[in-house]
């Protein structure tokens, strides 16, 4: 019994010592723990994690420049309208050709003085003295273009015009030093031949529009014949031919596609000058193109054209203007 109590006392003493040693060990850091703590504090690769609030971005006010103000005007540029529309265009090596008829009304005047007359002759009005321009005349013509390079092309046009009139002039006039009395029956003829040949250059081209400029040589011949209907006065003929330089621009824009067909807007304007002559020509039209085969189209174009030509010096004057609707048919092949 006493031995058993001693054993229990020894075990209790050992347990008490183990508990005291464990408690001391927990309260006192060891060598390894101190070394590890020192290593962590000394290592530069470990940093404490902290939350940082991002700074608010600085707001800078910028005054819009002059060009940025013009960007709003781009919606008024016709080249930007209907940008999804596809405009048929001639490829390299293709032709665009077709005849046209122009229902033009002719107006103008002419003055012709022969020799060294001190006083130039009076002007003859085509409408009031000769009777031209009472009705529109059908003027035929032909145009052809060849696409030589993707941006360069050749162009040619020909337009003959022949008109005749029998008219009783309400007033007297002088032409080529010949006096025509008022009330006389006047027989007159007006012939005009116009040839144009030149080159064209596409300055801008995209899927829906094309803008080009062109330069041409123009040969124009104006022939006016005035005589009396009773044969008392021999006809007076004035035949004048001139070569002129022509520069202009052309704009084509697709408006709508219909199952492969295309409705396009076509505008053209030019000026002519040289050899004491000046003139201009402008037209606008709608062009309806119908596909025939791949890359080939037929077209029907209709619109309005106005042309003006003037030759003027001290003695001679020839002033003519023609305006009216026109229709053209042709092919792109």
Q: For residue 75, what is the enclosing H or E element?
A: none
Does residue 32 or residue 127 have the better pLDDT? Answer: 127
Q: 144: alpha, beta or left, given left = phi > 0 and alpha = psi -120 to 50?
A: beta
* pLDDT of res. 230: 65
* pLDDT of res. 113: 83
* pLDDT of res. 84: 83
Q: Reduce the DSSP state of residue 126 to 3 states and report it.
A: coil
Q: For residue 68, what is the enclosing H or E element?
A: helix 66-70
* pLDDT of res. 22: 42
* pLDDT of res. 104: 95
Structure tokens given for 268: 């053209």
Q: Reduce the DSSP state of residue 262 to 3 states and report it.
A: strand
Write phi, then psi, for 146 (nearest 5 degrees).
-130, 125
Q: Assess whether pLDDT exceeds 60 at residue 333.
A: yes
* Domain boundaries, given as residue ranges, for the chain: 94-332
Q: How many CB atoms lie within 10 A of CB 173?
A: 21
Span 302-312, pLDDT tens digits: 999 999 999 98
How confident is residue 96, by pLDDT bands cut at 50, 70 and 90? very high
User: Alpha-carbon distance 226 to 111, whole Å?
Assistant: 12
Q: Assess whether pLDDT exceeds 50 at residue 24.
A: no
Span 181-214, pLDDT tens digits: 888 889 999 999 999 999 999 999 999 999 999 9
With DSSP H G I counted as helix, E B as strand and the rest as coil, what are the percentages for the chain, rounded to 5? 15, 55, 30
> Across the chain, what does the average pLDDT equal?
82
Of the chain, the percentage scoring pLDDT greater than 70 comes to 72
Mean pLDDT of the 103-118 span: 84
Q: Assess whether pLDDT exceeds 90 at residue 74.
A: no
How confident is residue 53, by pLDDT bands cut at 50, 70 and 90? low
How confident is residue 40, by pLDDT bands cut at 50, 70 and 90? very low
Tell me the pTM: 0.75
Q: For residue 8, what is the enclosing H or E element?
A: helix 2-27
The DSSP-derived string for 19-53 is: HHHHHHHHHS--HHHHHHHHHHHH-TT-------P
User: Alpha-carbon distance 24 to 268, whole Å?
Assistant: 107
Span 231-248, pLDDT tens digits: 556 789 999 999 999 999
Structure tokens given for 160: 């003959």
* pLDDT of res. 315: 81
* pLDDT of res. 312: 87
Q: Assess whether pLDDT exceeds 50 at residue 46.
A: no
Least confident of 70-79, 135-144, 183-192: 70-79
Does residue 68 or residue 121 have the better pLDDT? Answer: 121
The DSSP-derived string for 296-311 is: EEEEEEEEEEEEEEEE
User: CB–CB of 127/134 below 8 Å?
Assistant: yes
Q: Quick one: CA dihedral 86, 87, 93, 97, positive or negative?
A: positive
Task: Look up residue 303 and give its DSSP letter.
Answer: E
* pLDDT of res. 306: 98
Give the CATH fold of the 94-332 domain. Lipocalin (2.40.128)
């Amino acid at each position: 019994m006493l031995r058993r109590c001693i054993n229990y006392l020894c075990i209790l003493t050992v347990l008490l010592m183990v508990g005291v040693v464990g408690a001391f060990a927990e309260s006192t850091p060891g060598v390894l723990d101190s070394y590890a703590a020192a290593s962590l504090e000394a290592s530069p690769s470990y940093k404490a994690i902290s939350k940082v609030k991002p700074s608010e971005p600085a707001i800078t006010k910028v005054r819009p420049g002059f060009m940025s103000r013009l960007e709003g005007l781009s919606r008024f540029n016709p080249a930007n309208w209907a940008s999804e529309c596809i405009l048929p265009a001639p490829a390299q090596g293709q032709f665009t050709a077709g005849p046209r008829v122009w229902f033009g009304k002719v107006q103008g005047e002419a003055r012709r003085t022969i020799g060294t007359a001190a006083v130039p002759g009076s002007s003859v009005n085509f409408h009031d003295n000769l009777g031209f321009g009472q009705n529109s005349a059908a003027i035929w013509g032909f145009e052809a273009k060849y696409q030589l390079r993707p941006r360069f092309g050749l162009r040619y046009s020909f337009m003959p015009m022949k008109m005749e009139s029998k008219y009783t002039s309400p007033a007297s006039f002088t032409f080529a030093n010949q006096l025509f009395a008022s009330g006389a029956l006047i027989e007159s003829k007006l012939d005009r031949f116009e040839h144009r040949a030149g080159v064209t250059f596409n300055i801008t081209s995209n899927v829906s529009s094309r803008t080009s400029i062109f330069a041409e040589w123009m040969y124009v011949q104006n022939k006016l014949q005035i005589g009396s209907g009773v044969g008392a006065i021999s006809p007076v003929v004035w035949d004048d031919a001139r070569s002129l330089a022509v520069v202009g621009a052309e704009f084509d824009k697709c408006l709508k596609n219909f199952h492969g067909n295309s409705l396009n807007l076509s505008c053209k304007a030019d000026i002519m000058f040289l050899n004491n002559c000046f003139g201009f020509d402008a037209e606008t039209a709608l062009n309806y193109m119908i596909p025939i085969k791949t890359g080939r189209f037929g077209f029907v174009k209709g619109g309005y054209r106005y042309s003006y030509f003037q030759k003027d010096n001290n003695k001679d004057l020839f002033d003519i203007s023609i305006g009216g609707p026109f229709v053209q048919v042709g092919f792109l092949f």
